[in-house]
Chain A
Amino acid sequence: MKSMTRTRQRDEMTPEQKTLRRKEFFINNSLYFFLIAAIVGIVIYDPRFLSTASIVNILSLSAANLPLALGIAGAIILSGTDLSAGRAVGLIACVSASLLQMAGYPNKMFPSLGVLPLPVVLLIALAIGGLIGLVNGFCVAKFRLHPFIVTLATQLILFGILLMYLMNGNNNGQSLSGLDPSYTQWITGSFLKIGGTAIPNYVFYSIAITAVIWFVWNKTVFGKNMFAVGSNEEAARVSGVNVTATIIGVFVLAGVLYGVTGFIEAARIGSNSAATGLNYELDAIAACVIGGVSFVGGIGKIRGVILGVVLLRIIFVGLTFLSIDANLQYVIKGLIILLACAIDMRKYLKKR
């Protein structure tokens, strides 16, 4: 009732409506307030939360997850999702690692291979990611299947392939490590230090990738088509958008981003097994939805994805700083995701 009267009389603002407006502003930006409140609370509890080392830690953990979240965000904007992301990252991480093991490492998967040049392996990683995306996108677009089903299936297929891949050569199902120093250096090395804390290189790669994706989403025809298809597929089709190509494109782009994530992940952690990447998509989906990328479709901003990823990371790290019991942490994470999404959803519910 209240909101109806408000919309009808929006032009003449009584003081009562002004307070309503203010409240509206508060609710719409509640995530930012939530973020600030959380940070203030944690800092009061443990000031080290805002030390340089801690900020760099949160930044780098966020950066490692950002490309994956950006990929999934595309799928969510199409009112879909992507459950295969984590396993895709795992497979790509293992392939990258196996191709970049030190020459002479005793358990090297391909002993005769030597060490491939980094750009070649990066391209292979992107290609595998793109291929996975192509399969996902093709099935969604051509067979009219819901992405949930398609990616549930590809998730299983990818895990099977990953397990088989790990049995290759003289690896025998063990975890892959012994990475070439040039590779780990390129990913986790650092050319910039702030207050004695080194910022790992992949943070900058992640920032660059985000800039590219921002451009794709906001400044290209493909980006505009993606939002059009996401908000109303039929309308988009009628107005001449190639829906099939757009859907496939979004999934391929997502796949390529998983390629980047996998390539970074392999060197960041240094040890890659069948468990690598497991459930990564869940954190990423949570981050997207927290950041206002709506499952309704057609709604989402790069800013939101970044905010979501960072917010989720601050929560994870914050819970550690608050010394909360690990069992309870799962409960709290769940509640926070629920709460943040519920608040965010209100905006869109009202618009519809």
Chain B
Amino acid sequence: MKRKILIFLMIFCLTIPLLSACGMGRGSADVHVFYYTYSDAYVSTVRSALDKKLHQAGISYQDYDSNNSQTTQTEQVQTAITKGAKLLLVNVVTTGSDDAAMGIVNLAKNAGIPVIFFNREVSDAVVKSYEKCMFVGTDATEAGKLQGDMIGDYLLKNYEKTDLNKDGVISYLLFMGEKGNSEAIYRTRYSVENANAKLQQGGKPPLKFYDPSNGDGYIADREGKWSAQAANEAMTTALAGYSTANGNMIELIICNNDNMAEGAITALQGAGFNNGTGTTIPVFGVDAIDAAKELIRTGKMAGTVTQDGNAMADCLLRGVQNAQNGEALTANMGDYTVDEGVAKVRIHYGVYTGE
């Protein structure tokens, strides 16, 4: 019995290095990449793209799952530095305030190594505090603008079909997601603004919020989870009072992410819409997750906006190579836009309508 346990113990100790061999297979990784959570679908697309690119470029790397905890992430960064990291790529957990990101910058500064933040935005002050610091992300306003343009184009093409009660005005419902989140605020604002601008050009009246008693012009997810469930419940509630029979059916659904679009579509399907045949209410989302692409392919959803994980990874790789060659981090960025006066590189969003 004892001997068995001992043997097991020894085998176990021996297996650990072996497991690592089948993992990354490099003793000392140069580039250490910290993801705020492996559970985020979009961030995972960045991870798989970046892993592939770093591997192809022959750069040794190590990935970390910070599991949505700033404590875990900060500790991982500390450990990575003692392990001899030459460069840090950080998808920071805490975005509301500077201190966590600043702490990581200071750790990097003390070790004299570059740090590149990505995806979740850090403030200009953080980036400017260290000459070997850069941020790679999207322009928060762009998703909303693209979504708005896409909606405007769609409506101009399908105005008669969309205007169910033929009153000449399109009534819409907007799911905001998290209140107070800057992405949500920009998406809410620009999706409607840009759609209206397009409609105006086409000689049509602006969009009208479906519920005149709601002055906000959006429905917010009270728990801030951007969830399909919250959108589904709100949509079901709205459909109880607004229908084709009453002549006041909601004619357009704008969602600040695809999860909420999915939830809204499920509710619409319960009321006999968006089943691929019959009446389809145009629903627009953001993120281009696989489920949304499938809905678009089957004609149950109108369009979404893609965040290009591959471009993000490409941009990060350029930063890593710049650091290796001793160039400025923001050099050689090609088509990517670099903000003026601060080392922040912007990846562009794209429109996805399945065409």
Closest chain A residue to B178, Cβ basis = A173
B9 neighbours in A (Cβ, 8 Å): 30, 34, 339, 343
Q: Does B71 reach chain A (CB closer than 8 Å)?
A: yes
CA–CA, A179 and B98, complex, Å: 11
CB of A147 to closest CB in B, whole Å: 25
* A304 contacts B by Cβ under 8 Å: no
Q: CA A48 – CA B99 in complex, angstroms?
A: 29
Distance in Å: Cβ of B208 to nearest Cβ of chain A: 30
CA–CA, A278 to B29, complex, Å? 29
> Would you call B76 and A270 a contact (CB within 8 A)?
no
Binary CB contact string for chain B from 59 to 94 against chain A (1 if under 8 A, 0 otherwise) = 000111100111100111011111110000000011
Given A41-B13, A173-B180; A273-B19 close (CB under 8 Å): no
- A34-B13, A269-B74 are contacts. A323–B27 as well, Cβ < 8 Å? yes
Query: Does any Cβ of B come within 8 Å of A172's Cβ?
Result: yes
Whether the pair A320, B100 counts as a contact (CB closer than 8 A) is no
Given A175-B94, A270-B100, A275-B70, A61–B75 Cβ distance below 8 Å?
Answer: yes
Partner among B65, B94, B224 whose Cβ is within 8 Å of the Cβ of A271: B94
Q: Which A residues touch B64, using CB under 8 A? A: 320, 326
> Is there contact, CB below 8 Å, between A177 and B97?
yes
Docked complex: A61-100 residues within 8 A CB-CB of B: 61
Contacts of B63 in A (CB 8 A): 325-326
B contacts with A, residue count (CB < 8 A): 51
Asked if B17 and A325 sit within 8 Å, CB to CB, the answer is: no
Chain A residues numbered 294-346 whose CB sits less than 8 Å from any CB in chain B: 317, 319-329, 332, 335-336, 339, 342-343, 346
> Among the listed stretches A49-57, A132-140, A203-211, A243-251, which one makes contact with chain B, having 4 or more residues with CB under 8 Å of it?
A49-57
CB neighbors of A among B1-31 (8 A): 2-3, 5-6, 8-10, 12-14, 16-17, 19-20, 23-29
Tell me the minimal C-beta distance from A244 to chain B in angstroms.
36
**B17, B38, B103: which contacts A45 (Cβ < 8 A)?**
B17
> Does A225 have its Cβ within 8 Å of any Cβ on chain B?
no
Given A23-B2, A278-B69, A326-B38, answer yes or no on A271-B99 (Cβ-Cβ < 8 Å).
Answer: yes
Residues of chain B with a CB closer than 8 A to A327's CB: 38, 65
Closest to B81 in A: A53
Question: Are A320 and B71 in contact (CB-based, < 8 A)?
Answer: no
Distance in Å: Cβ of A6 to nearest Cβ of chain B = 12
Whether B6 contacts A26 by the Cβ 8 Å rule is: yes
Partner of B71, one of A38, A46, A269, A319: A269
Contact with B along A155-172 (1 / 0, CB 8 A): 000000000000000001
Interface string of A172-210 (1 = CB under 8 A from B): 111111110000000000000000000000000000000
Chain A residues with CB below 8 A from B80, complex form? 320
Residue ID in chain A nearest B66 by CB atoms:
A326
Cβ of B82 and Cβ of A53 under 8 Å apart?
yes
B82 contacts which of A48, A174, A325, A343 (Cβ < 8 Å)? A48
Is B272 an interface position by the 8 A CB rule?
no
Bound Cα distance from A227 to B9, whole angstroms: 31
Instruction: Evaluate contact between A322 and B97: CB separation under 8 angstroms.
Output: no
Does A57 lie within 8 Å of B79, measured CB to CB?
yes
- Tell me whether B185 is interfacial, beta carbon within 8 Å: no
Kindly state the separation between the CA atoms of A275 and B224 in the bound complex, as whole angstroms.
14
Chain B residues whose C-beta falls within 8 Å of the C-beta of A321 in the assembled complex: 79, 83
Taken together as a complex, chains A and B put the C-alpha atoms of A231 and B5 apart, in Å, by 28
Tell whether A325 pairs with B23 under 8 Å between CB atoms, given A23-B2, A177-B98.
Answer: yes
Q: How far is the CB of B256 from chain A (nearest CB, A)?
A: 18
Which residues of B lie under 8 Å from residue A177 when comparing CB positions? 94, 97-100
Instruction: Identify A323's interface contact among B6, B23, B68, CB under 8 A.
Output: B23
User: Which residues of A are found within 8 Å of B8, using beta-carbon distances?
Assistant: 339
Contact pick for B97, options A23, A174, A320, CB 8 Å = A174
Residues in chain A near residue B68, CB distance under 8 A: 275
Query: Least Cβ distance of B225 to chain A in Å?
Result: 13
- What residues on B are CB-neighbors of A38 within 8 Å? 13, 16
Chain A residues within CB distance 8 Å of chain B: 23, 26-27, 30, 34, 37-38, 41, 45-46, 48-49, 51, 53-54, 57, 61, 107, 172-179, 265, 269-271, 273, 275-276, 278, 317, 319-329, 332, 335-336, 339, 342-343, 346
10 A-B pairs (CB sep. < 8 Å):
A23-B3, A48-B82, A53-B81, A178-B98, A270-B100, A271-B70, A273-B94, A323-B23, A323-B28, A343-B5
